[in-house]
Amino acid sequence: MLSESHIDVRYPDCDPMGIVHHAVYPIWYEIARMDFFSAVGYPYEAMNKEGINPPMVNLNLQYAAPVRYPGHVTVRTACTLCQGKKLELRYAVYQDGSPRPVATATSFHIWTGPDMKSLDMSQKPEIYQKLLSAVEQPGVLILAGGRSTRMGRDKAAVSVQGKTMLQRAVDFWHGMLPHAPIYIAAGQPEHLPQLPEGTKAVYDQLPDRGPMGGLQAAFRETGCELLWVSAVDMPLLGQDAVSLLEKKRCHCEDACIFTRGGRPEPLLGLYRSTCLPRIDQLLAQGENRMSSLLSSMRTTTVPLPNQDWVRNVNTPDELNQLLTEL
């Protein structure tokens, strides 16, 4: 769930050059936090009546561009962690409709009770369920709808060390995100091999539109606001790759991907449902390239430290080379 707070830039918040002072941003985040809890259904007034508080123990701030007077800012707030005694919120600040955030932040909180001691909110199930329902829960989308023309057979069904590449991908994501739903972008029903247990297929609404068509189908059919996306033929994908991108999740406005030599690697990353209007627009124009999508959105990029993380297996020779290395 994303909540939005709309705040006017005040002249007293600025330095003599009309730029908002950095110390004002935590106040904006406090306002946004109040709005978030109200949207969840557990406003500060209700907390205070019970003597419950979420004191902040850490605040990480990033400033990307100055905010000037006069103006208006919108702060978007999302909950990225809720575990009993702990809570994590992320914020992104936009000025006057700017496409990219001018500032981002992440705050970490603990819960305390009337005695000011640590409180496990799971002991208050009605409130805890409200909080859990607001947590940003990513799903997983495995792209397996390609025609595999260079391989000569369906890559998803190719065996690597006794498992199909599709099963390897599913097992990897089950290990990384045990509670996340896993979806298989299959293109059309006839393209999909046997569906692994615990997964669900999504089918392109427009045929032969590549990964962008798979993303469109997934966001329309699953209701997920955030998706981890990976290609089925990345058998060397590991935990380090996901962990590195996860650290950037609080900066992810539309997408977060790796780049190699300045070029995007779109088939491994995080994508938000805010991508969908642009995907619809590009596909309606006959544009299928993921690079066109990423260049026209708010895309966070991370330099790729290990090329094997996104190594594809497209041909029999590449498969044989991989098998000799494993």
- Alpha-carbon Rg for the chain, nearest whole angstrom, is 22
Examine the domain organization and report whether 219 and 109 are in the same domain. no
Please tell me whether the peptide bond between 70 and the residue prior to it is cis, using omega within 30 degrees of 0. yes
Domain limit, last residue, from 133, 165, 187: 133
Number of domain units in the chain: 2
What are the DSSP calls for 185-232, one per residue?
E-SSGGG--SPPTTEEEE--SSTT-HHHHHHHHHHHHH--SEEEEEET
pLDDT tens across the length of the chain (326 residues): 778 999 999 999 999 999 999 999 999 999 999 999 999 999 999 999 999 999 999 999 989 899 999 999 999 898 988 989 999 998 989 898 776 778 989 999 999 999 999 999 999 999 999 998 888 778 999 998 776 777 777 888 888 888 898 999 999 999 999 888 999 998 766 666 677 888 998 988 888 889 999 999 999 998 888 999 999 999 899 999 999 998 777 667 789 999 998 899 999 999 988 889 999 999 999 999 999 999 998 898 999 999 889 988 878 888 888 888 87
Domain limit, last residue, from 133, 166, 196: 133
Examine the domain organization and report whether 261 and 317 are in the same domain. yes
Q: Which residues of 98-117 are buried (b: 16+ CB within 10 A; e: fewer)?
A: beebbbbbbbebbbbbeeee
Q: Look at residue 154 in the predicted model and tell me its pLDDT.
A: 80
Examine the domain organization and report whether 164 and 246 are in the same domain. yes
Examine the domain organization and report whether 157 and 269 are in the same domain. yes
Q: Look at residue 252 in the predicted model and tell me its pLDDT.
A: 78
Examine the domain organization and report whether 101 and 225 are in the same domain. no
Examine the domain organization and report whether 10 and 116 are in the same domain. yes
The C-alpha atoms of residue 303 and residue 27 are separated, in whole angstroms, by 33
Whichever domain contains 198, its CATH number is 3.90.550.10
Query: 188 is written with which tokens?
Result: 């059309």
Examine the domain organization and report whether 19 and 46 are in the same domain. yes
The C-alpha atoms of residue 141 and residue 185 are separated, in whole angstroms, by 7
Domain containing residue 277: 139-325
The C-alpha atoms of residue 32 and residue 104 are separated, in whole angstroms, by 12
Examine the domain organization and report whether 123 and 166 are in the same domain. no
Examine the domain organization and report whether 143 and 290 are in the same domain. yes
Which own/partner pairs from 85-90 qualify as long-range (CB within 8 Å, at least 24 positions apart)? 85/110, 85/111, 85/118, 85/119, 85/120, 85/121, 86/110, 86/111, 87/54, 87/111, 87/131, 89/33, 89/36, 90/249, 90/250
Examine the domain organization and report whether 307 and 179 are in the same domain. yes
Query: 151 is written with which tokens?
Result: 């391989």
Whichever domain contains 10, its CATH number is 3.10.129.10
Domain limit, last residue, from 84, 108, 133: 133
The model scores a pTM over 0.75: no
Give start and end residues of each alpha helix (H) in 41-134. Answer: 44-50, 125-133
Q: What are phi and psi of 180, to 5 degrees?
A: -80, 140
Examine the domain organization and report whether 87 and 50 are in the same domain. yes
Examine the domain organization and report whether 196 and 271 are in the same domain. yes
Q: Look at residue 191 in the predicted model and tell me its pLDDT.
A: 60
- How buried is residue 15: exposed, middle or buried, by Cβ count under 10 Å (0-12/13-18/19+)? exposed
Q: Look at residue 99 in the predicted model and tell me its pLDDT.
A: 62
Q: Helices then strands (H, E): number in the chain?
A: 9, 14
Q: Look at residue 194 in the predicted model and tell me its pLDDT.
A: 73
The C-alpha atoms of residue 86 and residue 80 are separated, in whole angstroms, by 11
Query: 284 is written with which tokens?
Result: 């309606």
- Residues 6+ positions from 213 with CB-CB distance below 8 Å: 145, 185, 187, 204, 205, 206, 207, 283, 288
Q: What is the number of other CB atoms lying within 10 angstroms of the CB of residue 170? A: 23
Q: Look at residue 1 in the predicted model and tell me its pLDDT.
A: 76
